[in-house]
Amino acid sequence: MRELDVLILRLLAEADEPLGSTRLAELLRERFGLEYTTRTIRYRLRHLEEQGLIERVRRGGRYVGARLTPKGERMLKLATSHERSRMYLSILEEMAYRCTFDPERGQGTVVCNVTVLHRDHLDDLIDAVVETYRAGLAPSPLIAIEEEPPTPDIPVRRDELVVLTVCTVTIDGVLLNHGIPTHPVCGGLLYYEDREPIGFQEYIRYEGTTVDPLHAFVTQRMTSVEDILDEGAGLLPANVRYVPWAAADEVDRIETQLKRADVHGIIDTPRIEGEILGLPLPPRSLGIAACGGLVPIALLEERGITTRTYPTRVLRDYRDLQDARRY
């Protein structure tokens, strides 16, 4: 399948309404920097329709655009599977590289998750951030509340707000900025008992996955953060990376700086070379587990409050974030 056809299918899949050739040409230019005439787009749309991948939509006898068919959705997944095989790991690595946060000086950019929710539930999210942070289960109390979408592809209705929360990829960025190479391993459900981490009950390795594992676990409501808060036992969204064993002392120093800047997240675990919480790692490596930035969102979902969350999505200046404990 041609690259242009794949891009057209992708744009139709992401759209909330049928798209015509003029709008598709605009989106190709805005999103991908590609210039195509509406005539070319119309030709490709006709070809895709002949293959049964899209269908024309008419309203009042007038053509208003095209939309994907179920066959088109399946074909899009097949066409992009190879491209996406390392997509999420690449996103983690890119965002860590772009992070400029210096916890000692309290300046620079941090990596943030984006959550869109109804305005009526803003207080619920703030409460969840504060509760989980005070319990040592969330990486930071720092948030930003915004009216406008942070990127053009995130829809926000008038009755909704955008809340940014700190993503633990920030930790990887800080380590990287101090010359410590980090290797993301997996995201999963870390079992707690008596308020202590025991081991991972479920996990998905980042290598090869096309989605954020923690987001998948949270949206499926497989977590039990509320139970950890109430009883000390349950499943917490957490992730693992490793660094060279020789960097252990430097990691301790950086962790202290992060805590002073209200960016905690690193979970206290026994240090065993080449292993963390039962997960095998390469020799001479130090495993670092961190509670996921989506922990407050997991708590909201457990309480029946649905959100739209886009993990590891944007960078924000550290000084633009506010302490949720002060709201």
Among 84, 114, 135, give the residue marking a domain's end.
84
- CATH code for the domain of 20: 1.10.10.10
Q: Indicate whether 133 and 221 sit together in one domain.
A: yes
Question: What is the C-alpha to C-alpha distance for residues 264 and 25, in angstroms, rounded to an integer?
Answer: 45
Dihedral over Cα of 229, 235, 239, 241: its sign: positive
Q: Indicate whether 140 and 177 sit together in one domain.
A: yes
The pLDDT, as a whole number, for residue 1 is 67
Q: Indicate whether 73 and 100 sit together in one domain.
A: no
Q: Indicate whether 208 and 148 sit together in one domain.
A: yes
Q: Indicate whether 147 and 80 sit together in one domain.
A: no
Q: 154-165 b/e with 16+ CB inside 10 Å = b?
A: eebeeebbbbbb
Number of domains in the chain: 2
DSSP string, 131-143: HHHHTT-SS-SEE
The pLDDT, as a whole number, for residue 152 is 80
Q: Indicate whether 152 and 231 sit together in one domain.
A: yes
The pLDDT, as a whole number, for residue 87 is 67
Q: Indicate whether 165 and 254 sit together in one domain.
A: yes
Q: Indicate whether 70 and 194 sit together in one domain.
A: no
- Token pair of 127, please? 């409460």
The pLDDT, as a whole number, for residue 207 is 84
pTM score: 0.76
Provide the 8-state DSSP code for 150. S
Q: Which residues contact 116 (CB under 8 A, 6 or more apart)?
A: 149, 154, 155, 156, 160, 161, 162, 163, 307, 308, 309, 310
The pLDDT, as a whole number, for residue 77 is 79
Q: Indicate whether 187 and 313 sit together in one domain.
A: yes
Reduced to 3 states, what is the DSSP secondary structure of residue 216?
Answer: helix
Question: What is the C-alpha to C-alpha distance for residues 226 and 267, in angstroms, rounded to an integer?
Answer: 18
Among 84, 117, 142, give the residue marking a domain's end.
84
The pLDDT, as a whole number, for residue 89 is 87
DSSP string, 273-297: TTEETTEE--TTEEEEEEE-TTHHH
Question: What is the C-alpha to C-alpha distance for residues 273 and 282, in angstroms, rounded to an integer?
Answer: 9
Reduced to 3 states, what is the DSSP secondary structure of residue 74?
Answer: helix
pLDDT tens for each residue of the chain, 327 residues long: 677 888 899 899 989 899 999 999 999 888 877 889 999 999 999 999 999 999 999 988 889 999 999 999 988 877 665 555 456 888 899 999 999 999 999 999 999 999 999 999 999 999 999 999 999 999 999 999 999 999 887 889 999 999 999 999 999 999 999 999 999 999 999 999 999 999 999 999 998 787 899 999 999 999 999 999 999 999 999 999 999 999 999 999 999 999 999 998 999 999 999 999 999 999 999 999 999 999 999 999 999 999 999 999 999 999 999 999 998
Q: Indicate whether 179 and 31 sit together in one domain.
A: no
Q: Indicate whether 51 and 114 sit together in one domain.
A: no
- Token pair of 43, please? 């030709």
Among 84, 108, 124, give the residue marking a domain's end.
84
Instruction: State the residue range of the domain holding 7.
Output: 3-84
N residues, the chain = 327
Q: Indicate whether 75 and 97 sit together in one domain.
A: no
Residue 133's φ and ψ, nearest 5 degrees, are: -70, -45
- CATH code for the domain of 273: 3.30.70.1360
